Amino acid sequence: MGESLTKSRRGTTQPARGGQRGAEPRPSAGAPQRQGGIGTQGDGGPQPAEGHEAVMLLERARAEVDPVLRAALGSLPAPMRRVALHHFGWEQADGTPADGGSGKAIRPALVLAAAAALGGPEARAGAARAAAAVELVHNFTLLHDDVMDRDTTRRHRPTAWTVFGDADAILAGDTLQALALRLLAQDPHPASSAAAARLADCVVELCAGQHADTAMERCAPGEVTLDEVLAMAEAKTGALIGSACAIGGLYAGASDEEVAALDAFGREAGLAFQLIDDVIGIWGDPRRTGKPAGADLAARKKSLPVVAAFASGTPAAAELAELYARTSEKEDLDHIALTVERAGGRDWAQGQAADRMARAMQQLARAVPDPEAAGGLLALAEFVTRRSS
Amino acid sequence: MGESLTKSRRGTTQPARGGQRGAEPRPSAGAPQRQGGIGTQGDGGPQPAEGHEAVMLLERARAEVDPVLRAALGSLPAPMRRVALHHFGWEQADGTPADGGSGKAIRPALVLAAAAALGGPEARAGAARAAAAVELVHNFTLLHDDVMDRDTTRRHRPTAWTVFGDADAILAGDTLQALALRLLAQDPHPASSAAAARLADCVVELCAGQHADTAMERCAPGEVTLDEVLAMAEAKTGALIGSACAIGGLYAGASDEEVAALDAFGREAGLAFQLIDDVIGIWGDPRRTGKPAGADLAARKKSLPVVAAFASGTPAAAELAELYARTSEKEDLDHIALTVERAGGRDWAQGQAADRMARAMQQLARAVPDPEAAGGLLALAEFVTRRSS
C-alpha cells in the first residue's frame, strides 16, 4: 500500500515548501532598488514612481478581475461557494464577510499587462475573463497543495482543509479548475480556445511539478540534483507565470513567436522569483519576511540554495550534510545558514537569479521591442523578484 | 480543525458508496428482460438482439474512444501517465501492460449514440474527442472519490491512492480533468466550446454531489430526507450521464430544446440506474453482483431504499432504526434486508426506478421522435438499468 495522507511527511506547523507553486512574494519594506543590468529600459536613473507602477498595476488588476471572480464563485452551489470564498479571503469560516488575504493578483496582472503590451487598452479590457481564469487555476492548485503538504496557514489564514476537511478542500479545488475552464469556454473572444488549451497544458505541468516536489521531499538533500530542483521549480512556479504572460499575448492577437517569447519571459522571471524567495527564506530579515529566521533550514527544506550547497562538493557541503542529518531542539540555525553560504549556495542562487532575470529581459525584448509598451511587464517582473534582504 | 483524511469515516474495506458517481453497472447474468411500460418502441415483443445492441454499442465506443484516450494519456509526463494508465487498467502497478478493467465506456457510448441519433454517422464520427473528454472527467472523479472515500478496490483492481499515495492520486485526477478540457479546447468542431462549458458545469455539479454524499455519511439515516438523497444521486450520477447525452446532441447541432431533453433523459436514466443499483446492493444475488450479500447494509450505507424505509414512518422503520444503530459481529443481514422491505424501501425504489425510466423515455421521445433513431440511446439506458435480481 502506498503513501497515504494519514502518514504526513512533516509536521503541520512548518512553513510553505521549497517549490513555491503557491507562494506570494514576501512583503518587502523599504525603497525598492532596480537591479543593475537586468532592465531593458535604457533611460537610466531611478524613476520617481519606481515600484509604485507595479503596485498600481496589481491594484488595477484586482479591481478588474475581482468582479469576474466573485461572479464565478457566486454561481457555485452553497457548500463549495463557502469553501472558495473562505480560501479567497472574502469570508470567514463562519460565513461572515472578510476583507483581504486573496493574494496579490500577480498572475492576472501579468495577463492584463501582456495583453496591453501587445494589443493596447482594448486587448487589456478584453482579457479580464482570461485573467480571472488564470487566478482560479492558481487557487485550485493552492487548495490541493495545502492538502498534500499539510500546510496549515496560507496568506495568514487557516488553510481550507483545516477548516472544512480534506474532502471539501479537494472538491473546492476541483470546482475552481472547472470554473477556470468554463470562463474561457464561455468567452466569445477568438483567443479563448487557444488560451484554454494552454491553461489546461499548464495544469498538467503544474501537477507534474507538484509530483516532483513531493517526491523530492522523500529524498535526502544530496540525492537531488540541481537540474532536478530547477526543473521542478520551473514546472511548479514558472509554468503558470509563463502561461499568464502567453495568454495575455494570445488575447492581443500576438504571433506564435511573440507568445512563445512571453511564455519564456514569464518562466525565467518566475524562476528568478523562486531563487530570490529561497534566499530570503534563509537569510531574509524576519521583520520583513514575517517568518522566524532560518525557518526554511529548521524545516530542512530542499530549497535551491541548499541543493546548490550540497552539490558544490566543497568541505562545507560535507559539513552541511552532517548538520542537516542532525536533529536538535536548540540547533544553531545561523551556523547552518553560514555553512550553506560557505558552500556557495547563496552566491549561486543570487547569480542564477540575476542570470534568469537577464534572460527574462531578453525574452521580453523579443516579445515587446518597444520599452514603453514593455514597461508594465517589466515593473511586475521586478516587483516579484525585488530583494528584501 | 476540520475533518482530515487521517480520520477516515469508515473502514478501508467497505464497498463503493451510496451515491455511485463512480459506479459501473453491476454484472448481470441471464437473458435481459425489457421493462414493461418504459419503452417508446411500439413494435412489441422481444427483439432477437435484445441487450446485444447495447453490448455492441459499448464495444464500438471503446474502439473509437480508446485511441483518443491513449493518445491523451500518452502525452502526459511519465509519473502522472503511470498513475493514469494504472487507473484505466492499461498498466499494472509495476508498469507492465495490463488489459481490461477500464470500465464499460457507458458515458462515451451515450455521447456517440446521442450524436448519431440527432446527426447520423457523420455527427457520431465527429464526436470521438468529446466522448473521450466525458470519460476523462468520469475517471478524474473516480480517482478523487476513492481518495476521499478510502475505497481500496475499483473495477477489481487496487485504487490509485493505495498504490501511488494520496498526493499522486489527487494530482492524476487534476491532470485528467485538465486533459478533458484540453481535448475540447483543441477540438475544431463548432460545438466544442459549448460542450466544454457544459462539461465544466457538470464538474461543479459532480463536486457538489460528492460533497453532499460525504456530508450525509456523517448524518444518522433518519436525518437524511428522501429529497436530499435523490438530489445527491442526481448530482453525483445523473449529471454526467445527462451531460454525456447533451454533449452528443451539441455535436449533432441539436437545438437547445433537444439538448435539454437529452440532458433530462440522461439524468432520469441515471437516477433509475442508481435506484436499481441500490436495490441490487441489498437484495441482489452475490453470484451476480460480485459482492457479499447485504454488504451495503453491513456498511450501513444510506442507500435510496434504506432512506425511503427510514422515511416511511412505519413500525418497521422504527425497528430498522434500532437495527442500524446496533453493531454486532454476527448480525442478521437478511433480517435487516427484510425490515427495509417491510418498511416499503424495496417497493419504493423499484417504483421510483420505473417512474424515472418512464420519464426518461418521455424525454427521449421529445429529443428523438423517430424510434429507429432513438434505438441506440434506448438500448444503452435499458442496459444500465437492467435488473439482475
**Per-residue pLDDT band at B21 (split at 50, 70, 90):** low
Nearest Cβ partner for A144 among B162, B170, B197: B170
Task: Count A/B contacts: CB-CB distance under 8 Å.
Answer: 183
Across the interface, do B177 and A174 touch by the CB < 8 Å criterion?
yes
Encode chain A in three state secondary structure: CCCCCCCCCCCCCCCCCCCCCCCCCCCCCCCCCCCCCCCCCCCCCCCCCCCHHHHHHHHHHHHHHHHHHHHHHHCCCHHHHHHHHHHCCCECCCCCECCCCCCCCHHHHHHHHHHHHHHHHHHHHHCHHHHHHHHHHHHHHHHHHHHHHCCCEECCEECHHHHHCHHHHHHHHHHHHHHHHHHHHCCCCCCHHHHHHHHHHHHHHHHHHHHHHHHHHCCCHHHCCHHHHHHHHHHHHHHHHHHHHHHHHHHCCCCHHHHHHHHHHHHHHHHHHHHHHHHHHHHCCHHHHCCCCCHHHHCCCCCHHHHHHHCCCCHHHHHHHHHHHCCCCCCCHHHHHHHHHHCCHHHHHHHHHHHHHHHHHHHHHHHCCCHHHHHHHHHHHHHHHCCCC
Which candidate from B166, B205, B211 shows the least CB-CB separation from A3?
B166
Could you tell me which residues come within 8 angstroms of residue B105 by beta carbon, excluding any fewer than 6 positions away? Answer: B58, B61, B62, B65, B135
Is A178 in contact with A75 (CB distance < 8 Å)? Answer: no
What is the Cα–Cα distance from B160 to B344, expressed in whole angstroms? 38
Which residues in chain A have Cβ-Cβ distances shorter than 8 Å to B165?
2-4
Distance separating alpha carbons of residues A302 and A310, to the nearest angstrom? 10
The answer to whether the CB atoms of A215 and B79 lie below 8 A apart is yes
Fill in the DSSP letter of residue B24: P
C-alpha atoms less than 13 angstroms from C-alpha of A386 in its C-beta half-sphere: 25
Pick from B79, B207, B215: CB nearest A174: B207
List domains and CATH numbers for chain B. Answer: 52-385 (1.10.600.10)
Using CA atoms, how far apart are residues B18 and B27, in angstroms rounded to an integer? Answer: 18
For B200, the closest of A163, A165, A181 (CB atoms) is: A181
Do A5 and B207 count as a contact with CB atoms less than 8 A apart? Answer: no
Please answer yes or no on whether A207 and B166 come within 8 Å at the CB atom: no
CB–CB contact B185 A168 (8 Å): no
Neighbours of B270 (CB within 10 A): 31
| Contact between B174 and A172 using a beta-carbon 8 Å cutoff | no
Q: Return the C-alpha cell found at A217.
A: 521531499
Closest CA to A1 of B215, B210, B13: B13
Segments of chain B assigned E as strands: 153-154, 157-158
Give the residue from A345, A305, A304, A340 showing the smallest Cα distance to A323: A340
Placement of cell 479548475 in the chain: A177
Helices (H), B88-126: 106-126
All residues at 6 or more sequence positions from A189 whose CB lies less than 8 Å from its CB, including other chains: A126, A127, A129, A130, A251
User: How far is the alpha carbon of B186 from chain A, nearest alpha carbon, in Å?
Assistant: 6
Distance (Å) from the alpha carbon of A385 to chain B's nearest alpha carbon? 28
* Residues on chain A touching B184 (C-beta within 8 angstroms): 185, 196
Give A-chain residues touching B76 at CB under 8 angstroms.
204, 208
Cα A325 to Cα A9, A217, A302, A314, A331, distances in angstroms? 16, 14, 13, 17, 12
How distant, in Å, are the alpha carbons of B158, B165, B344 from that of B74?
A: 22, 21, 50
Residues of B in contact with A171 (CB under 8 A): 144, 148, 207, 210-211
Each of the 389 residues of chain A gets a pLDDT tens digit; together they read 333 333 333 333 333 344 445 454 444 433 333 333 323 333 333 444 457 899 999 999 999 999 999 999 999 999 999 999 999 999 998 889 998 767 889 999 999 999 999 999 999 999 999 999 999 999 999 999 999 999 898 888 899 999 999 999 999 999 999 999 999 999 999 999 999 999 999 999 999 999 999 999 888 878 899 999 999 999 999 999 999 999 999 999 999 999 999 999 999 999 999 999 899 889 887 666 666 667 788 888 889 999 999 999 999 999 999 988 887 767 788 999 999 999 999 999 999 999 999 999 999 999 999 999 999 999 999 998 875 43
A97: β partners: A91
Output the average pLDDT for chain B.
86
**Across the interface, do A201 and B186 touch by the CB < 8 Å criterion?**
no
pLDDT at A17: 41
B203 Cα to chain A: minimum distance (Å): 6
Residues in B closer than 8 angstroms to A175, CB to CB, are: 203-204, 207
Half-sphere exposure of B9 (CA within 13 A, CB side): 22
Cα distance from A366 to chain B (closest Cα, Å)?
27
Q: How far apart are alpha carbons A288 and A281 in whole angstroms?
A: 11
Which of the two residues, B46 and A123, has the higher pLDDT score? A123
C-beta neighbour count of A286 within 10 angstroms: 11
Contact B204/A4, CB-based, under 8 Å?
Answer: no
**Assembly ipTM:** 0.86
Crossing angle for the helix pair B333-342 and B345-367, to the nearest 10 degrees = 60
Q: Could you read off the pLDDT of B223-254 as tens digits, one per residue?
A: 899 999 999 999 999 999 999 999 999 999 99
Chain B residues with beta carbon closer than 8 angstroms to that of A203: 174-175, 177-178
Q: Which of A171, A183, A214, A247 to mutate to test the interface with B (most CBs of B within 10 A)?
A: A171
Please indicate whether, in this complex, the C-beta atoms of B200 and A215 are within 8 angstroms of each other.
no
Q: How far apart are CA B285 and CA B289, in angstroms?
A: 6
| Interchain pair A205, B177: CB under 8 A | no
Find the Cα–Cα–Cα–Cα dihedral A183, A188, A192, A194, rounded to 10°.
140
Return the C-alpha cell found at A368: 515587446
User: Could you say which DSSP state residue B221 is in?
Assistant: G
Question: Cβ contacts (< 8 Å) between B192 and chain A: which residues?
Answer: 193
In chain B, what's the furthest Cα-to-Cα distance? 61
* Strands A157-158 and B153-154, bridge-based pairing: unpaired
Q: Residues B178, A217: contact at Cβ < 8 Å?
A: no
* Amino acid identity at A70: R
Would the CB atoms of A5 and B4 count as touching at under 8 Å? yes
Rounded CA-CA distance B319/B342 in Å is: 10
Condensed to tens digits (0 to 9), the pLDDT of residues B125-171 reads 999 999 999 999 999 999 999 999 998 988 888 999 999 999 999 99
- Residues of chain A with C-beta less than 8 angstroms from the C-beta of B200: 178-179, 181-182, 185
What residue type is A38 in one-letter code?
Answer: I
Grid coordinates representing A51 are 515600484
